[in-house]
Amino acid sequence: MKTNRTYPRAVVTAKGAHAIETGHPWVYEGEVRRFELPSGESWDNNGSLKPGAWDSPAAGPSPENAPDHEHTSGPDHPTEDVRPLRARRGAGDFHERRLRKELLNAPRTEGEIIPLETLPDGSIVDVVSLKGAYLGTGLLSRHSRIRVRLVTRNANDDFSPEFWKRKARWAWDYRRTVMGDDARACRVIFSEADDFPGLIVDRFDDVLVTQTLSAGMERLKPVVFRALLDVFAEDGIALRGIYERNDVATRALEGLEQTTGWWTARSRDGIADGASDAGPTVTDIVENGVRYHVDFANGQKTGFFLDQKYNRRAVARLANGRRVLDCCTHTGSFALNAALGGAEFVRAVDVSETAIDMARENARLNGPDVESRMDFTVANIFDLLPELERTRNPERFDFIILDPPAFTKSRRTITAAARGYREINYRAMRILPRGGYLATCSCSHFMDHDRFKRMLAEAAQDAGVHLRQIEERQQAPDHPIVWGVPETDYLKCLLFQVV
């Protein structure tokens, strides 16, 4: 390790040091013992940079005013392993004392907070143990309970533009290797999985679409985005531009506003040297031989869900000659793969009329042979599936696909989410004839693999059927799973025959 470090240091507890040493890339607010500057000045405030808790009554806040610990799931928005304060209140004097202790971690006055000009959001911070051992270097978030997000564990790294370009090159070279020709539509940067904490970058042919979800990446955008453009240019890939989809509520947890639009590159003197409008915000991609319109300005998240790419291909192999019901179709991706795979008939269902309109347009893009074997329905599957069960499946569906949005984005709602997953899977199993096929998915990190499979086993038992597993699948490799970072392992997709 270099001895003359110029960066501030976050001194972390033994628990925080152990988490980093076992692979986790975050330092939580309560794990910071103090911040130190190279000058020797330090702030010992248990890591909290926000005032206010000292104003609460000694017994803690009322349930209505209790702070909310919930974050959105996944590597972009991790959630801490804490129980809601509301659940702890009323559980006895011990829990009341714990609650007061947590509240008093906050500074008593504004003067105890590290000044913004001294340590601004996005600052580069070394993380060290209580004994001073170097653990890694990351980016500071003053507003978030995730106080430091690591970007390297190598003390010899600098943080020049070349450092970020090298990391962007590694990320892109990995996608070219594992995706091959499919890299024309893929995730280029997957947040912590690529050591760009809080940054998502998807490629849709000639456009990069981004979500910037941490204060550190927000500050580094001019450097990181230019590095990405340079890397693609070096490979002879002409991009129209970078479109930002920062219309995400969780940016508020980092003190960031919501924004959308084309990113404008600026020269060192601050003058714009890139076009502020790079053209239409709809582009076409081809995935598994299926053509899609991608509305990256208005579609969900970055405009298209790329993580199910190869799971759709697996569904297509089973669909030949079958009558398929695709629930929560979004823009029709599973349904279109089934139709292109030779399905006799496919009904695509979604609660969103806008999504169904886009799915219908995508069917038209793929020609009359595909379009003529498809139907599109706006419906809530919690209403549709019971009706199909009651009427004994009059359309003779023998292949049902369940790919719902995440039913839970925190641990505290996992029980309710499990009931929702169980309900739709139970209904699907009751509807399908013996020998029919089921593809069922969950994209919630908190609904982990074991819990998801237990739920399926219980649903099958209640439905009076047996499941013959064909295969168990996960997300495509452009969304890499990093061991030691469980939040990167989020997508479940299982294929069964109902027997």
| Positions marked active-site | 443
Residue 323 main-chain phi, psi, to 5 deg:
-105, 115
Question: Cα–Cα–Cα angle for 21, 12, 93, nearest 5°?
Answer: 110
- The pairing of beta strand 374-378 with beta strand 345-350: parallel
| 143/60 Cα distance (integer angstroms) | 21
| 208/24 Cα distance (integer angstroms) | 28
DSSP 5-70: --S-EEEE-HHHHHHHHTT--EEEGGGEEEEE-TTS-EE-STT-----GGGS-TT---GGGPPP--
Task: Evaluate the CA torsion angle 469, 407, 382, 457 in order and state its sign.
Answer: positive
Q: What is the largest CA-CA distance in the chain?
A: 76
What interhelical angle do 309-319 and 333-340 show, nearest 10? 40
Residue 210 tokens read as 């981004």
Residues 400, 428: contact at Cβ < 8 Å?
Answer: yes
What interhelical angle do 449-463 and 414-431 show, nearest 10? 40
| 488/389 Cα distance (integer angstroms) | 36
| 15/22 Cα distance (integer angstroms) | 11
- What letter represents residue 176's amino acid? R
- What letter represents residue 272's amino acid? A
Residues 211, 199: contact at Cβ < 8 Å?
Answer: yes
| 68/83 Cα distance (integer angstroms) | 10
How many residues are present in the chain?
Answer: 499
Residues 262, 275: contact at Cβ < 8 Å?
Answer: yes
Residues 418, 447: contact at Cβ < 8 Å?
Answer: yes
